[in-house]
Structure 1
Amino acid sequence: MKFGKQYSKVTVFMAMLHGVIIGIAAVALIGFILMGTNGKQAEVKTKAGKDEIPISGPTGEDVKAPVSVPAPAGSIELFARQYGVFTSQESAALFVSENPLLAAAAVIKEGEQYFVWTAIGLSEAEIIDSDSEESFKKRFFVNTAACAAVGAGKLESVLSTNDITKIKTSTGEKGMETADEFEKNITAITTFTNDIRVIRAHLLSHYSLKKECIKFTF
């Protein structure tokens, strides 16, 4: 069976041209889609890459090893468990009163700042059992030379010992009213605690807040 001529050359040419145009358009569309996908992936990589800073602190590249600083002349090195620092004694005291875990805490003054400290030791190891997620260790130096003028000349030796007996028998200069006051302070503190770390904290609190004879170096 013979079929006759159904399409002209022009019709066939136009059909071929139409097919080519559709093919080019499809290739172009796929290219644009791939480019858009790669762009989004690159953007995500940039946001999650090396410029990201962990919430908990600086990146590992920024962390530096602590520098060992020698004690200033006439000072002793101590370590405190710190819970906060405030701009007024009232706000620090309020913070302590609202936290049952800080019943034995003391407020220490240095300049215009008020620190809330609990355990104070001669080494980091001495306060390691006081670790808390709400606190951190603070190294500092203290000079008590000026406290001799208020009858607390034995303050440095009290802060430097781990012998509770020596603390309870520490006195100032005989016959001085201020020395009697120092002895009374020791008696008052040791009446409610035998924890040497807490005793140190409250002595530093008294002689930094009321007598202002202690010099701190951080």
Structure 2
Amino acid sequence: MKFGKRYSKVTVFMAMLHGVLIGIVAVALIGLLLYWTRDKEPEVTMDKEVPTSGPAVVETPVEGEEQLLQLYAKQHGAFSSAAAAAAFIAEDTSLAKAAIIRVDQNYLVWSAVGLAEGEIEVSASEGTFRKAFKANAASCSAMGAGKLQAVLSETDSAKIKSLATSEKDGKKEEGAQGFGQNIKAITDFTDDMRTIRLQLISHYSSVDDCIKITF
């Protein structure tokens, strides 16, 4: 049987043309689909990245971390007892302004505390070195020394007297009188903020036991 004779040339041409048009339309639809999908992908990626880099993410600080003050001490030695540390100081007249700082079971002999490394001069011949540490004075509020953190951060000795004696809401903070007296006693002794910080840290980390020191 000869099927070809059933169709005219026009019919065959139209069928071919129709097939070509269908192919073109199919390719166009696939191209549009790919283009549309490609445009959407960056938005999906952006949505995934926002939680890690966008402003909506707020890291919760560790409790008490915002109260930590970075400081640097001039350290002369570390001893296993307060008596040994005191004997070391007594043997060296240049350590008249030094203090003993107790941290855990160690007794450290420091002679200065600065806010920056450059404030602390050390010498190999002296056997001294800089000791970086962090101080948390948040618990000192219960001792009436709520302004201790501000005093330790101060660089002008003339300003710390007003910080110690200022009033809050018209009433002096409970225990603030003792804090003011400590400030006065130290500033009568020296105007060097490195020594003032040292003596305050020594007192409030040992006597009142409210400054927490970490390395």
Q: What is the TM-score of this pair, normalised by structure 1?
A: 0.63
* Alignment pair present for 1:89 and 2:86: no
Provide Cα deviations, 1:29-56, integer angstroms capped at 9, x if missing partner. xxxxxxxxxxxxxxxxxxxxxxxxxxxx
Spell out, residue by residue over 1:69-97, the C-alpha distance to the aligned partner (whole angstroms, 9 max, x if none).
xx944201000000011122222112111
Counterpart check, 1:101 vs 2:98: no
Given the alignment of the two structures, is residue 201 of structure 1 paired with residue 198 of structure 2, yes or no? yes
Aligned counterparts of 1:76 and 1:100: Cα–Cα separation in 2: 30
Identify the residue that residue 158 of structure 1 maps to in structure 2: 151
Shift of 1:175: 3.9
Unmatched 5+ residue regions in structure 1? Answer: 1-70
Q: Distance in 1 between matches of 2:124 and 2:73?
A: 13
Task: Output the CA distance in 1 between the equivalents of 2:189 and 2:129.
Answer: 25
Q: CA deviation at 1:127?
A: 1.4
d(CA) in 1 for partners of 2:159, 2:66: 25
Aligned-pair Cα RMSD in Å: 1.8
Q: Tell me how far 1:132 sits from its aligned partner.
A: 5.3
Q: Output the CA distance in 1 between the equivalents of 2:189 and 2:109.
A: 19
What's the counterpart of residue 127 of structure 1?
Answer: 120
Shift of residue 180 of structure 1?
0.6
Tell me how far 1:147 sits from its aligned partner. Answer: 0.6
CA distance in 2, matches of 1:75, 1:85: 23
Per-residue CA deviations over 1:113-133 (Å, capped at 9, x if unaligned) read 1111111110011113x5453
Unaligned runs of at least 5 residues, structure 2:
1-63
Between 103-112 and 140-149, report the one with greater CA deviation.
Answer: 103-112
Between the aligned residues of both structures, percent identity stands at 46
Name which of structure 1's ranges 190-199 and 91-100 shifts more when overlaid on structure 2.
Answer: 91-100
Alpha-carbon distance in 2 for matches of 1:178, 1:89 = 28
CA–CA distance in structure 1, aligned partners of residues 65 and 111 of structure 2: 24
**SS of residue in 2 equivalent to 1:207:** helix
Alignment match of 1:213 (pick from 184, 193, 210): 210
Match of 1:146 in 2: 139
Q: CA deviation at 1:176?
A: 4.8
Counterpart amino acid of residue 95 in structure 1: F
Counterpart of 2:164 in 1: which secondary structure? coil
Q: Could you say if the C-alpha distance between residues 166 and 132 of structure 1 is closer, same or farther in structure 2, counting changes exceeding 3 Å?
A: farther
User: In structure 2, what residue type is equivalent to 1:100?
Assistant: T
In structure 1, what is the equivalent of residue 110 of structure 2? Answer: 117
Tell me the SS of whatever aligns to 1:190. helix
